[in-house]
Structure 1
Amino acid sequence: MHAEKFLDTARWGGLAYISDWQETLAGTINVTDPANGNVLASVGLCGAADVSRAAKQARAAQKDWARTRPSRRAAILNRAANLLEQHGAELASWITQESGSIHSKAMIEIEHGALFIRHAASLALQPTGMFLPGMDDRTNYARRVPHGVVGVISPFNFPLVLSLRSIAAAIALGNTVVHKPDPRTPISGGIIIARIFEEAGLPKGVLHVLPGGADPGEALCSDPNIAMVSFTGSARGGAKVGEVCGRHLKRVQLELGGKNALIILDDADLDIAASNAAWGAFLHQGQICMATGLILVDEKIEQGITERLVAKAQHLPAGDPSTNWVALGPIISDTQVETIQKIVDDAVAKGARLLAGGTHDGHFYAATVLSGVKPGMLAFEEEIFGPVACIVSFATDEQAVELANRSEYGLAAGVISANLGRAVTLGDQLNVGQLHINDQTVNGGPYAPFGGRGKSGNGTRVGGPADIEEFTQWQWVSMKSAATPYPF
């Protein structure tokens, strides 16, 4: 099959993947390019009835899949990773058009997506049990067993990677999956995944991809055939998912938003620190859960960092990444543009200085720099999900810690200093799930346990050694050579 035909719409246009390509009961939805409004394709729109149908099929397939030799599961996953890489150039163009990614970010998704799948393949081959001490002559051991059917709900911003990191690990460990990608990015977050696993030889029923909105999402959380839900998205959405899953006694893994602080100490190299701050604040238009939401700068170097950030912002063009060489693509929706503008306007009204940007042309929001940001401003308190660098000054290291820890979120933080010991001492006091010394806040990959505290999640993690913990559960097995009588 030629690379340019791998995602041929003739195979999947207007359909969803429910064991195979199927029409859905809720009709279809058009997928549009946020840069220009052009319709890219249509996919099947799924509702609660489609979730029920998929969940039953997934449960019926799960026992056989769990009994499948680990080496075969690993081989299928590795073939899927090969296919993703082999067709990467074609698939990246869909990510660019559908999610507003610049080309390099889309290629990062291809590269990291394949790494997540290969990491999952390695999980299938790891030992997942241990012998236990006993109180008599029976044999005792504990083993990790799959939950059954895992529901996955993923967001629009990194649609491929943030779907694959849960799907691949769940499948590798013997679960089957019902996946609901964001309806704005169902191709990058769903159709691509269905196609690579279809071609890799994944048995029918193991994976289902159901694009849709809130209704199928709630159905995933309440369906009796689904044992666990893995959700990546906003704190508000995560609270709803956690509530419904809790009501139905399901295991739930929540990876939510963040208001992530990058702390720049007075001994930092100004050019390098400003480069880190710009990357963390502006990459993918700031639409990343780990984006640098607050740039905390020692007051002695605030002017130098601010000047450098303004210069960088003024030289980062925004535009259609599929037709122009740009640094920033489109914001995902009109509603999100309005939210960004509201936060910027609120900061200026409360005394912050707008030094760059603060305007938009349709979905293209200019790289923006606000200085003098303080507690009480929306720009200090809330996740923006837009290309806005918020500069906050501090006088002492202790004040920097206090400002960073004021947030209800607790996802990621970075500390930049020429003195490694000083940076580590400060970093150890931050209430976050991910700490990066001498780096900005946007970091991720398959080998680290990823997640946050507070409004950033429920303490669960996905990736690295956490995958076995999240996607399986302990089972205690005891064995006697023969049954023996009891006093009753």
Structure 2
Amino acid sequence: MNFSEIYNDSCNFSLDMMFSGELIDVTEPATGNRLGSFAAATLSELDRLIETTREAQEGWANTDFDSRAKVIRHFAALLEDNATLINTWNGRECGSIEGKSQWELQACIDQAYMCAALPMNPYGDIYPSNIPGRENHCIRVPLGLVGVISPWNFPLLLSLRAVLPALAMGNSVIIKPDINSTVVGGYLIVELLKQAGLPEGVCTLAPGGVTVGQRLVEHPQVDMIAFTGSTAAGQQIGQVCGGMFKKVALELGGNNAFVVLDDANIDGASSCAAWGSFLHQGQICMQSGRHIVHEAVADAYVEALCVRANNLAVGNPNKEPVHLGPIINERQADRIMRLIEDSVAMGARVVCGGKREGAFIYPTVMTQVTPDMPIFKEEIFGPVAPVVTFASDNEAIALANDTPYGLAASVQGADMSRAKRIASRIDAGMVHINDQTVNNEYQVPFGGMKSSGNSGRFGGPANLEEFTERKWISIRDEALIYPF
């Protein structure tokens, strides 16, 4: 396969990765067309891959920090050089619009340069001792082999936010991307890291579905799992890793509250809401999923949000400039429409949108929503903004916390003291005042609470802890003489 041409309209490729398992098609969600195929790893092939990737880790960990940084900086430059290739594939394989693909790529470039600086950070501390003549050193050491299991919605970013810091800290990595994003979330990454000078076998690809991911989680030679995906899958992974005393970072689902106070700027709030709810067709764990709006401004807010929703173009991002592309697959589109229809049957009202044309669902605003409706209770992962009203701050906080999830939230309001008080009482790992919920900065620790994760954090200095473990080394010039 010609790496530089696999995004052409006429492509009908087969990824040659020396695996012989089930043949899986790569399908374009906007058209349903088959773009190519890849063979999944068999379990015996995966076992051998784990063994060789683990063997490569020791040599990589012993590489000086500047050499590791140089590889990651070169990789960042290659991301820039291959922008057209990467962004085109993000659109075709994952249904991303051009602006989303560009933002995702730039976030990965920024993150790569940040991770290139990680190896030169201090990697230990010296602690005092109550024993004369002893020095206590506490250092960070690599975990070993890290398995990265990533989703399809932001395939490049959500793979690299674990792959790059893991490599920077001296680990080897196996990537198991979702079958809907094996090219963007796996193959392109491994290929560009190879071109950047990463030694053979330090970062490898394990293509396949649930069986491959399960084996990666359960394998005793895999020292850590970094998983981004559904809460249900994360619970199973957490149970396995807990039983094996294996480190695990879980970034899971969300049903994020977007709270609009009665003193909020409606124009600004509706803009934040449209972005937070409809970006990438709402297929984001940080999506603004529940709009909790003060009853005094609810009518004005719904009107403003519907104006924005009705102005958004929906279509194939590979053929025309649009704001919303396709839903990733038919099963997910069916689920979104079922959430809408079941809630309407319970009394909710569709104010705008609510329409589906094949793989495309139009941005939807719903009112007369109550907390017992599925559109309020469940993570939507689609372009829907359900609105529920409140009369007091305590009621707003109770509605915001009425979910097992705790990933992100937003508070819109003019009184900063009031907004901060409300933000401090919302059970979420990230709360943004006068901004939307889909926020990510590579230098800031990212993660959720409750069923949105296990307090694992990606980003900035948190990476130093997440992808290493601590070792205590005490030192004396001579052996201490004990009573016996």
Question: TM-score scaled by structure 1?
Answer: 0.95
The alpha carbon displacement at 1:51 in A equals 2.3
- Aligned counterparts of 1:119 and 1:8: Cα–Cα separation in 2: 32
CA distance in 2, matches of 1:80, 1:46: 26
| 2:442 matched residue in structure 1 | 446
Q: CA separation in 2, counterparts of 1:4 and 1:460?
A: 36
What secondary structure, in the 3-state scheme, does the structure 2 residue paired with 1:428 have?
helix
- Partner residue of 1:225? 221
Give the number of aligned pairs: 481
List structure 1 segments (4+ residues) > 6 angstroms apart after TM superposition: 6-9
- Contiguous gaps of at least 5 residues in structure 2: none
CA distance in structure 2 between the partners assigned to 1:281 and 1:287 by the alignment: 9
Q: CA deviation at 1:436?
A: 0.5
Identity of aligned residues (%): 43
| Alignment map for 1:4-403 (pairs within 5 Å) | 4-5=4-5, 14-15=14-15, 22-136=17-131, 137-403=133-399
Letter in 2 for 1:178: I
The code of the aligned residue for 1:89 comes to T
Determine if contact 1:7/1:195 at 8 Å carries over to the other structure. no
Q: Distance in 2 between matches of 1:114 and 1:210?
A: 23
| CA deviation after TM superposition for structure 1 residue 199, in Å | 0.6
SS of 1:115's partner is helix
2:411 corresponds in structure 1 to 415
- Return the alpha-carbon distance in structure 1 between the equivalents of residues 107 and 415 of structure 2: 32
Structure 1 residues without counterparts, runs of 5 or longer: 16-20
Structural RMSD (CA): 1.8
Q: Distance in 1 between matches of 2:100 and 2:221?
A: 36
CA displacement 1:295-317 (0-9 Å, x = unmatched): 11111000001011112222212
Q: Deviations over 1:210-252 (max 9, x none)?
A: 1211101111111111000000001011111112222222111
- 1:118 Cα offset (Å): 1.3
TM-score, normalized by length of structure 2? 0.96
What amino acid is the match of 1:463?
A: G
- Give a deviation string over 1:55-104, Cα, whole Å, max 9, x none: 11111111111110011101100100010011112210000001000000
- 1:374-423 Cα deviation digits (max 9, x unpaired): 11100111001000011111111111111001111000001111121211
1:66 corresponds to which letter in structure 2?
A: A
* 1:470 corresponds to: 466
Change (3 A) 1:23 1:4: closer
Question: Which letter does structure 1 place at the counterpart of 2:303?
Answer: E
1:349-372 Cα offsets, whole Å, 9 max, x none, are: 111111112121111011111111
Tell me the alpha carbon deviations over residues 105-164 of structure 1, each in whole angstroms, 9 at most, x when there is no partner: 011111011112111111111011011111221221000111100000000000000000
Find the aligned partners of 1:381 and 1:246 in 2 and give their Cα distance: 28
In 2: Cα distance, 1:165 partner to 1:230 partner: 10
